[in-house]
Structure 1
Amino acid sequence: MTIRNGIRMLAAVMFTDMVGYTSLMQENEERAKLLRDRYRKVLEEKVFEHLGKVVHYFGDGALTIFGSVIESVQCAKDIQTELLKEPKVNLRIGIHAGEIVYDDDGVYGDTVNVASRIESLSKGGCVLFSSKINDELKNHSEFKTKSLGLFELKNVKYPIEIFALNSDDIVVPSKIDFEYRSNIRNDSIAVLPFVNMSKDPDNEFFSDGITEEILNALSKVEELKITSRTSSFAFKGKNFDIRDIGKQLGVRNLLEGSVRKVGNRVRITAQLIDTLDGYHKWSDTFDRDINDIFQLQDEIASTIVNTLKKSLKISSQQKPLVKIPTTNLEAYQLFLKANFFWNKWTPADVRRSLELLKKSVRLDQNFAQAYSALAACYVYLGAIGQFSNSTAYEEATKYAEKSLSMDESLPESHLSLAMANLFNWKWDEAYKSFQRALELSPNNADAHHYYAYYMMAIDNKRKAVIEAEKAHELDPLSLPINTFLGDMYLNAGMISDAIEQYKRTLEIDSTFRAAINGLGWANYHSGNFSESLRLFKKSQEIAGDDFKSVANTGFIYAKMGETEKAFECIKKIETKEQSSSEINYTLDYALLYLGLGDYDKVFQYLNKAFEDKLGALIFIRSRSWKEIHDDNRFKELLNKMKLPID
């Protein structure tokens, strides 16, 4: 791999980040900007006093470097001391020292990554730093420090001991504040797919549906960390040791069971297992009439919560965890069948899901969950180009709003509405819906995943990484989420992290094209054009279609100086466009002309994408388009989309 060119130097790296800035912007924009301006003014004054340099602002945060560890810590202390005065600014600070690479695009290297991870661990008002910083402070009696313990930081090979600055002038955290971050959490649980024990294999949709309903019920318990469906269902039909599953999913507890459906009778067996020692914490068998299915789901979920409550600080459940969504069992079974096909995630299966849901709501016009699922289908089909943007997001909005008019507490409806608003460039509306979805379902991996899209669109790269990492923590085996985490690392300039993440994704599935393409882009940004081209061609081979990834290969050809091959790729798109007029290739043309360096053509197509209201234009701030980000025409485009330039 080609090494990034730039100045190599030793430095202390300090990350700072305002806590709750985005929420405050929605509640009181004037106050949020006042506090941000105060934070930046204090930061710049103190950094100047201590001979540092603010390298990069990212929304409500900043990256600063110093030539001296002592100056960096004193600066951090002075900043927190000042910002704890009225009007208070709730700020997190993390510091690490080591070698960095400094070039025109910013500061890079493992030192930057570690400082960033330490800052994300921090609490408002305190100063955290690594053992390397602490070692430098030992001969300086004016600094008192406090060990918080060893922490495993993401993409850092070995655990690092983290310290806090111990001073009466600032906030000093306790070890208890950080205990849950250092090991597998006792309050973590995954629900494995319940086995279909019915004679009819077609009843698999029912056993899968029961599993998912119990998982959704448990996700409403805020104190529990729930692994998402995709990762749990990766073990469907496989014979793994419970301890191995626990390690792969990073959970302490597993719920497994079986479902037998005979006529109108249902038998469900379930057991809760400790993944550390295989001990069965609880097991039971339930025989019920199918008309009691919702009460049964609630009974199982509530029993699990009460079992875990004995050893954890979990609130007693005053309300049922499972609502009765419909009184029409035929409509409910159609809904479960629709979910079964939805989870296959292919265009044909999602269309089949759509038709089943339409039948379901015809049987029960007050079935809020079915309307919510309809909205999700239209968002998916619009995002992959199966429907026009106007049709897809108009229908998604209609069904999401209809669902919420019946039941405002459905997080999936808020999420579908958020995505429809995001692709329609309604930023404030999208933000509010994302916040409500996360408030209702904080353990929803998809909500964190898609919220990262929003953060990427408004150019808050750091928050996009944090949300992508949260989604990955909740759904560690999801291929799209794994790949997207690599995308966010790449977008934030964490290229080595991105490469490692794409490789980890390909260890799960070596044929997953999105990860192969992501690895291709990471190699391009590392300067390794030939490897990038090889990967894009590999993606085409796996697809069995040399038109797939044609814009990517054409871009690389252009960057390698092989302009004739780049123009051949343009001709391929022109030919394809004539035979499939329903698909929009505007951004493919823009990318190819970007590779050729014809910026006039690039903006011609980007402005056409704006006129066509292409939802994918929200990704225009990604690293792939970085070379035009300083062009005034790019800023004009952001203004037209009503996106913040700063």
Structure 2
Amino acid sequence: MKLEPRYALGWSGMADAYITLAAHGGMPPTQAMPKAKAAALKAIELDPLLAEAHTSLAGVEMAYDWDCAAAEKEYSRAIELNANYATAHHWYSHCLVIMGRFPEGIGEIQQAHELDPLSMTINDFWALALYYSRDYAQAVAQFRAMADLDPSARSAASYGLVDVYEQQGDYAHALEAWRNMSLSSGKAQDAAALASAYASAGPGGYWKKRIELAQQQRSTPPLDLAKLYARQGNRDGAMALLHRAYQERSAWLNFMGCEPAFDTLRADFRFRKLAREVGVS
């Protein structure tokens, strides 16, 4: 940007880079997202008709401001400007799913897939959108299709399958997905330890070991740990981790409203209060 400070697409790309860093643990959201918003606004200032710029701004409004209503306006504007921009459809799908508008969200991610069928992030979120909508059979099918499409994505697909199977209490298939994931991650001992814990102590042993393994990975986000605690039945532990994710301004926190793992928490006044804070119900 020092060489071409009036290059709007460059500013949008910078915004997207900061959003990605915040979303995937490369930089604290409180540091990355204000930079992303400033870059997105600069891009719009330089070129108000640039779809990428409006998509970038919407990404910040959705994932950091937790304002899906504002984000939806920007996504709609981006698609109006360039209906062939796959990222606009992809991220708009996130927004719709967060708001619980699953048929529309799945429609948008399918549109993104038509535009960019080889994108693993698009294939992955298609499966996740199905999972969030509680269509577990189709989520499994999409994760498997993703693994078949690109062997390098098998680990990510297996991780997604673990999530779906754990949510259903299908430990046999969850362990199978763990074993498949370990083939590419080099952590066969973790899969074996989890299988042993389940064999010796049933679901209680599974969750104790599962949480222990997740905690050993210092990069595991508090939101992901909260899901495990919720599935284990530890409501207080799950809520403490959700509050930690709130304090860290997690880019994924507003998915708490549609995350099946948190269905057991929805009657808890602490959960309802936090959900209102991040703009979901």
TM, length-normalised to structure 2: 0.86
Cα distance in 1 for partners of 2:216, 2:151 equals 31
Deviations 1:198-220 (A, max 9, x none): xxxxxxxxxxxxxxxxxxxxxxx
Write out aligned runs for 1:424-443 (5 A): 424=64, 425-443=66-84
Name 1:397's counterpart in structure 2: 37
Moved more, 405-414 or 627-636: 627-636
Cα distance in 2 for partners of 1:487, 1:479 equals 12
Contact 1:539 / 1:548 at 8 angstroms: preserved in 2? no
* SS in structure 1 of the partner of residue 240 of structure 2: helix
* Selected match of 2:136 from 490, 495, 500: 495
Deviations 1:447-472 (A, max 9, x none): 11111111111121222111112112
Name 1:531's counterpart in structure 2: 173
Write out aligned runs for 1:15-26 (5 A): none
Deviations 1:134-162 (A, max 9, x none): xxxxxxxxxxxxxxxxxxxxxxxxxxxxx
Name 1:374's counterpart in structure 2: 14
* SS in structure 2 of the partner of residue 365 of structure 1: coil
Structure 2: state its 5+ residue gaps: none
- Say yes or no: does 1:595 pair with 2:231: yes
Name 2:252's counterpart in structure 1: 616
* Selected match of 1:453 from 87, 94, 98: 94
* SS in structure 2 of the partner of residue 366 of structure 1: coil
Cα distance in 1 for partners of 2:10, 2:182 equals 37
Moved more, 602-611 or 567-576: 567-576
Write out aligned runs for 1:106-505 (5 A): 361-424=1-64, 425-505=66-146
Q: 1:375 to 1:546 in 2, by over 3 A?
A: farther
Name 2:273's counterpart in structure 1: 636
Deviations 1:552-583 (A, max 9, x none): x79x959x834345334444444543xxxxx4
* Selected match of 2:147 from 487, 506, 511: 506
Write out aligned runs for 1:549-588 (5 A): 561-564=202-205, 566-577=207-218, 583=219, 585-588=221-224
Q: CA deviation at 1:619?
A: 1.9
Which protein is richer in strand relative to its size? 1
Name 2:241's counterpart in structure 1: 605
Contact 2:230 / 2:261 at 8 angstroms: preserved in 1? no
Contact 1:495 / 1:522 at 8 angstroms: preserved in 2? yes
Deviations 1:305-338 (A, max 9, x none): xxxxxxxxxxxxxxxxxxxxxxxxxxxxxxxxxx
Cα distance in 1 for partners of 2:125, 2:190 equals 19
Cα distance in 1 for partners of 2:10, 2:31 equals 19
Contact 2:167 / 2:231 at 8 angstroms: preserved in 1? no
Which AA in structure 2 matches 1:520? V
* SS in structure 1 of the partner of residue 202 of structure 2: coil
Moved more, 619-628 or 400-409: 619-628
* SS in structure 2 of the partner of residue 561 of structure 1: helix
* Aligned-pair identity (%): 27
TM, length-normalised to structure 1: 0.40
Cα distance in 1 for partners of 2:119, 2:266 equals 32
Deviations 1:161-202 (A, max 9, x none): xxxxxxxxxxxxxxxxxxxxxxxxxxxxxxxxxxxxxxxxxx
Which AA in structure 1 matches 2:127? G
* SS in structure 2 of the partner of residue 414 of structure 1: helix
Contact 1:483 / 1:505 at 8 angstroms: preserved in 2? yes
Which protein is richer in helix relative to its size? 2
Which AA in structure 1 matches 2:171? F
Pick 1 or 2: higher relative contact order, CA cutoff 8 A, min separation 6: 2
Which AA in structure 2 matches 1:405? E
Contact 2:254 / 2:275 at 8 angstroms: preserved in 1? no
Figure out how many residues of one structure are paired with residues of the other and give that number.
274
Q: CA deviation at 1:525?
A: 4.7
Contact 2:98 / 2:254 at 8 angstroms: preserved in 1? yes
From the CA coordinates, give the structure whose radius of gyration is larger. 1
Q: 1:547 to 1:610 in 2, by over 3 A?
A: farther
Q: CA deviation at 1:385?
A: 0.8
Contact 1:465 / 1:489 at 8 angstroms: preserved in 2? yes
Structure 1: state its 5+ residue gaps: 1-360, 578-582
Name 1:625's counterpart in structure 2: 262
| Two-structure CA RMSD over aligned residues (Å) | 2.7
Cα distance in 1 for partners of 2:278, 2:251 equals 11
Name 1:312's counterpart in structure 2: none
Q: CA deviation at 1:485?
A: 1.2
Contact 1:593 / 1:602 at 8 angstroms: preserved in 2? yes
Cα distance in 2 for partners of 1:548, 1:440 equals 48
Q: 1:460 to 1:441 in 2, by over 3 A?
A: same
Cα distance in 2 for partners of 1:548, 1:510 equals 22
* SS in structure 1 of the partner of residue 2 of structure 2: helix
Q: CA deviation at 1:412?
A: 1.0
Contact 2:231 / 2:261 at 8 angstroms: preserved in 1? no
Contact 2:37 / 2:57 at 8 angstroms: preserved in 1? yes
* SS in structure 1 of the partner of residue 38 of structure 2: helix
